[in-house]
Every structure is written in structure tokens, then in C-alpha cells.
Chains A and B, each alone.
Chain A
Amino acid sequence: MKHTNLERGSVARWLSGATVALTLCFVGAFAQAETTVTALLPFTKVDNAARFTEELYARFQEQHPDISIEFDYLEHDAYHTKMQTLAISGNLPTILTLWPGKRTGYLTDQGYAMDLRPMIEQDNIAETQRAVFLSPQGANGEVYELGLPLVNYSNVVYANKALMAELGLEYPATLEEFEEQAAKIIEAGYRPVVYGDQSAWVMQSCLLSMLTARIGGLEWFDKARRGDSASFSDEEFVSAIATVSRMVDSGLIAESEPMTTREQAMSLFVSGRSVYLVGGIWEVSNLKNALSEDQQANIGMYTFPEIAGQRTTSASSSGALNTGYGISSSASEAEAAAAWEWVKFVIDYANADLATKYGILPVYKEGGIEEFLENTLDMESYRFSSGIETVLPVIDDKMDAEGVNEIINAGLQELILGNTTPEKLAVAYENWVAANDSNRQ
């Protein structure tokens, strides 16, 4: 979308009924646009983040009438494909959406993104942001992106509390109890847990990552990642994968998971055909779309039950830092300055009310966001996030995508179908990592 000049504004007014767009065009039309920058966003318009960005930009324009930003939206996979092509042909937008982890390594490792440290220092960002959100991303401590300060937890157990009451269940404290429940639930004619693993990353991101770091511990994971006297063929990783097998055997993971989409899993959960849904914290917005206010009050959000012998507390979930905005290294000085204004605006506590309105719940150094919360499910979500004592690494956030996709994700699906063993999978992954992963080089 473009909100720059009068001509476009008037055309868009004719063509679009969107009130937000209308307001923006209007603002855009009268602003004295001095610097125009472009931005590409990795989500589509059905995402709350799109509506949030539009409203945030409207507010930005009031305060910075001299800067206009042309936003463009693309579906996640399409975003990465297009960014690669844009990078190769030297056409990157000014404002890049970057992942703090490995996902956009094809840009950050190749020098396409600016190091933000000088600006961070100059504007004293450390005063208002928690240190974890300013942690180094590049080999030499570079910081390439800053985003809304929040962790995207990838392992949340959503529970249908009404159905639990009907079946006489309490949220299980341990994995053993969880497994006992599974048998009871199946007997009663319901599904115990749904995930929606057709896209294959779900089982890894939303379950195995948590299992690995709970069982192996943070220290072990970091060593295995670097190949420093630990590896992925260790007992720790095998045992994490074996736990997945065990959950298949006890009915906590259905054999149909590898071909169930997240949409179908969500449908099973909200229609009361499954008691639990395991997924990321992003499912909150999908749940809000699918459930009435009353029904939303029946949803509980929990961390995964205790696993015997775990090295990390049960008050933990796997999570990756939120994506953020970076600046293309080919931007001119004026463009970079304008883009930086936007980055600062996004992470400003003064705009926390807007993020919260769209169910995006950041954690600021300066203050909480409880006062802005209205929706019951958002409150539950905030309660969940605030209760997390340890954030566990998400494997695909820390390791190279090819190894994770081709070996772990594909392998977990084969494991669920009974076509491979935890040992084989662990060894295959270790071999790939040892030979190819950038963490080991």
C-alpha cells in the first residue's frame, strides 16, 4: 500500500472502502513528504499485525509529517523468496523485516543490513529496552534489527476448560499424568491433543524445541550447537526425540498429525472435539477470531507438564525474540535516518496501547501493559508470558534452516509414522550439523 501523494490518495478513495486506508491517504495527501522510504512486511492482511502497523503508521505520520513509508505485505514464504531476489538484484526496500535468529541470515550474514549499534548508542535505547532485546546478532556483535520487545513463545498448551470439567480433568502436573489423561479422553470419544503438523515445522518448533531444552538444559544445548564437547547425537537429544515417540504411543500425538493442518487442528479444538491444542502464542489471535467472548473465557494457557528428570523448570516455554525492523545497508543517509525514526517509534512505550489493542503484548522496561488489556484471552496470554521464568531456545531459530527442515522436521513426521527411530534421527541430524551448519564453522 502506498499513502504518498494526492493523486494516489484520490484514486484509492474511489477504489477502497477501508476507513483506515482512507485516513492514511488523507494524512498522506497533506503531508509535505520529504523522505519516502519503502518497507516489506512478512505477513498478510488477515494478520492483526497488518492492522496494527497501519494504525501505528497513521500515528507516526501525525508526528513525522516529513516522512512517508510505503508498506507492502507478503505472505511469509513469499516474503523470503522475494527478499532473496531483491537482494540479488540490489533492490532491497529501505526497511527490512528481520529475524533475530537464523531465518534472515541470507541478508544479515551477507552484509545487506546496517549495523544499528551506533544509532542505538546515540539515542540511548538501552535505557528503555531490556538488554535481551538488544543482544548481538552478528559475528562481531552487530545488532541488525529492533522489534517490539516481546518473546514469541512457541510452546503453549491451550486447554478447553469447559470440556475438562465435563470429563473431570485437572491440568496435569507431570507428563505421566498427561499420558493417563490421554487414555481417558480417547475412551470418552475425544482427541487428547492436536498440533496441526502438516507444515512439519510445528512439531519441532512447538514441541521438540521445548523437550530438548527441558531435558538437555540450556547449557547442553548451547554446547551441542557449537559442537563444544556435546553434540546432537548425545543422550540428551535422543531422549527428547524419544519423548515424542512416547507421546505417540500414549495417544498424546495422533498418527494423523503429519497431515493435519493448523487450521484443521484449530477447528478440532474450538469445536470441542479435542481437549488440548499445542501451538505458539500466535494462536491467541486465531482463537479470538474463532470463539465468542464467553467461549474465550473457557480457554486456559499452560506450560508443558513436568518431564521426569528435566534440567529446566516447568515454568518454561520455548520462544524466539520477536521479528523486528532493520535498515538496508544501501539506504542513503536521509533514508536511513527516516527508517530509524520508524524503528524508534515502533518500540516506544508511548505506543504500547496500540500494540495491546491488537493482541500484541510487549514487555517494557518502563512499565507494564496490564492497564490496556481488555480481552480475557489477551489477559490469559499476558498471564502466561509473565509466568515464564526461563525462555528455552527454538531449534529453527538457532540452527540453519536446511538441516532443521530436511532432517528434523521431515524426520519427526517419519518418526510419528513409525518409519524411523530417535537414535537414527539424532545421528542423521548431528552428521548434517557437523558438516554444514554455520554454528559449527
Chain B
Amino acid sequence: MSRQSPSVRAIVPWPFRIAAWVILFGFTVFTICPLVWVLYTSFKSQSEIMRSLIAPPLVWTLDNYRNAWELGEFSGLFFNSFLYSTVTTVIVILLSVSAGFAFAKIPSRKTRLWYSFFLVGLLITISSSIVPIFVAETWLGLDNTRLGILIPYVAFNISFAVYLAVAYIRGIHDEIIEAAKLDGANYLGIYRQIILPMARPIITTIAIFTFHACWIEYVLVYMISSDSSIRTVQVGVSLLNGRLAFNYGFLFAAIVIATLPLFILFVFFRRHLQAGFSMGSMKG
């Protein structure tokens, strides 16, 4: 795969050029302005925010961060967020790449059916199945445990991961696999020696998406957990968003706290993100 763009340019028609600039400018404004707004608002006191939602702070204060950190009890929550996101990511990668290999490269009449069966998961939300999940977990004694959060996390993220993995692995040329078969490798050998190494780009992509999805999820956690020691950062944020009583200062500080790790993740892994989206054909 060539990572370089062609260096020779054709003549670009001017309407095309103007459209490009307008769209890019729009996106930039839409992205940067609100983020800057959230950032400086988090340094304003509640009374200043209420006086004007938009004005920059007259007095910069760290009180919101201090209060949000204490009220949201974030220190323990960060550990849980990292734990759930990381463990889920590892399991999802293992399961999805192997499933992806099977769906994409092991010919079987049932493959297409099973694959569609998996894709249905893309349509299911945690909110719509929370009652049956909770009832089932209570029977199994998994409610209010870390395992009771991890298992649904894996299940809810597996569909998209399988979908990505299949699309990517289809793009791996069959000749390589055939060659390995002629050398006497079995499917497990092919999986370990050919698919896993070649699937590295898609593994990174799956990792980023799964980690991100777990990080921002909160409905499942607050439903399953009744003990703050197993809750996550997003639940901490939601606990600062009151109904009758509200404090935007605390809330915005909490939002910055909760979003920062994602931002760092993004800055570090941005370059690896797109490679995994390279897709083979849809026919299966």
C-alpha cells in the first residue's frame, strides 16, 4: 500500500477549490470555537457563567476543577475507565480478528448468514436492552461487578469490530493464504503467522474505536453498578449534571477532565488511525 499521495497535480478548477476552502473553513470553525468555549468556561465561576454564557472569564479560577474532582470522586473513576476500556479492547481485538478471518477467508455456506447475524448487533443499543441484561445479570450474580460491565462491553463492541476486521481481511490476497496452505499450514497457523501480522493496521483502528466507545459509555455502568468503586469517569460527569440544581462550572470542568485522555490518545495514535479502514470488497 502506498502511503504517499501522487505528487503531480492536474489543473484544479476554481469552483472546486472554493468549495474545498469553504467546507474546510466551516469544519475548522465548528470544531475549534466550541472547544475553546468549553475550555475557558470551565475556568469561570458559576456566577460569571450565569451572567454571560459566552463572555470569556474576568477572573480565571481553578475552583471548578477542584470541586468537580472532589464531588465526582474522579481519582478512583479513572482507574475503572482505563480498566474497562483496555480489557474490553484486548478481548474485542482477539475475538474480532479471529472471527473476521473466519468470515472473510474460510469458505463456508454458513459464513454469510453468520456474518449478517453479527451485523445485526450494529443496530442494538445498550439502552434498549438494558432491562433484559440487568435481569440476566442479577440471575447470574453479575450485577454490581466489574465482570458484569465487561461482558456487555465486549458484546456491544464486537459487531463493529468484526465488521471492520472482515472488510480489511478480505483485502488480503488469497494467494498468500493458498501459498501457506501448500506449505502445509493449517488455519490456526495461517491465522497466527499471516493474518495477525498483516492485520496490524486494522487492529489499531479497532483498538481506538473500542477504547473510545467504552470510554464515553455511561448508561450501562450506572445501571449495573450500585457501588461507586466500580464506576467510570462518564458516570462521574453525569453525577455533576443535576436536574433541579445545576452548576455549569463544575460540569464543564468535569467534561474537560473526562475528555482529556481521549484527546491525548488521539494525538498519539492519529497517524495509525486511517490505515485500518482500507477495505476489501463487500461481497462475501
List residues of chain A with CB under 8 Å of any chain B CB: 1-2, 8, 11, 15-18, 21, 38, 40, 43-49, 70, 72-78, 81-82, 85, 88-91, 93, 262-264, 266-267, 270-271, 280, 282, 285-286, 289-292
Contact = CB atoms under 8 A, between A and B. Distances in A.
A286 B246 contact: yes
21 contacts: A15-B75, A16-B73, A16-B75, A17-B70, A44-B243, A44-B245, A46-B71, A47-B244, A49-B245, A72-B227, A85-B131, A85-B223, A89-B135, A89-B138, A90-B138, A262-B246, A267-B49, A271-B51, A282-B244, A285-B245, A289-B46
Contacts of B47: 270, 289-292
Contacts of B70: 16-18
A94 B76 CA distance: 26
B46 A88 contact: no
B143 A91 contact: yes
A78 B130 CA distance: 13
Contact of B229 (A8, A264, A270, A290): A8
A110 B247 CA distance: 36
Contacts of B239: 44-45, 73-75
A8 B76 CA distance: 12
Contact of B242 (A11, A21, A47, A264): A47
A75 B138 contact: no
B222 interface: yes
A289 B67 CA distance: 13
A78 B238 contact: yes
Given A43-B242, A47-B245, A78-B238, A85 B134 contact: yes
Contact of B71 (A45, A85, A88, A262): A45
Contact of A44 (B49, B134, B143, B240): B240
Contacts of A85: 130-131, 134, 223
B153 interface: no
A1 B229 CA distance: 8
Given A286-B245, A292-B47, 13 more contacts: A18-B71, A43-B244, A45-B239, A46-B71, A46-B240, A46-B247, A46-B251, A72-B227, A78-B238, A82-B222, A89-B138, A282-B244, A282-B245
Nearest to A20: B70
Contacts of A1: 73, 228
Contact of B53 (A18, A47, A267): A267
A330 to B, nearest CB: 13
B201 interface: no
Given A75-B241, A263-B248, A89 B50 contact: no
Cβ-closest 3 pairs across A and B: A290-B50, A76-B243, A89-B138
Contact of B227 (A2, A44, A46, A78): A2
B243 A43 contact: yes
Secondary structure dominating the interface of B: helix
B148 interface: no
A22 B222 CA distance: 24
Contacts of B229: 2, 8, 11
B84 interface: no
Contacts of B222: 74, 78, 82
Interface in B39-95: 46-47, 49-53, 69-73, 75-76
Nearest to A267: B50
Contacts of B244: 43, 47, 76, 280, 282
Contacts of A286: 245-246
Nearest to B225: A72
Contacts of B134: 85, 88-89
Contacts of A44: 238-243, 245
B135 A75 contact: no
B226 interface: yes
B160 interface: no
Nearest to A266: B50
Interface in B220-259: 222-223, 226-229, 238-248, 250-251
Contacts of B246: 46, 262-263, 286
A280 B244 CA distance: 9
A88 B135 CA distance: 8
A74 B241 CA distance: 10
Interface centre among A45, A76, A89 (most CB of B within 10 A): A45
B223 A2 contact: no
Interface centre among A16, A44, A282, A285 (most CB of B within 10 A): A44
A76 to B, nearest CB: 4
Nearest to B134: A85
Contacts of A266: 50
Nearest to B79: A15
Contacts of A292: 47
A399 B247 CA distance: 31
Interface centre among B130, B135, B242 (most CB of A within 10 A): B242
Nearest to A48: B245
A49 B243 CA distance: 12
A255 to B, nearest CB: 20
Contacts of B69: 17
A91 B138 CA distance: 8
Contact of A290 (B46, B238, B240): B46
Nearest to A47: B245
Contacts of A88: 131, 134-135
A49 B242 CA distance: 11
A72 B228 contact: yes
Interface centre among A11, A47, A49, A266 (most CB of B within 10 A): A47
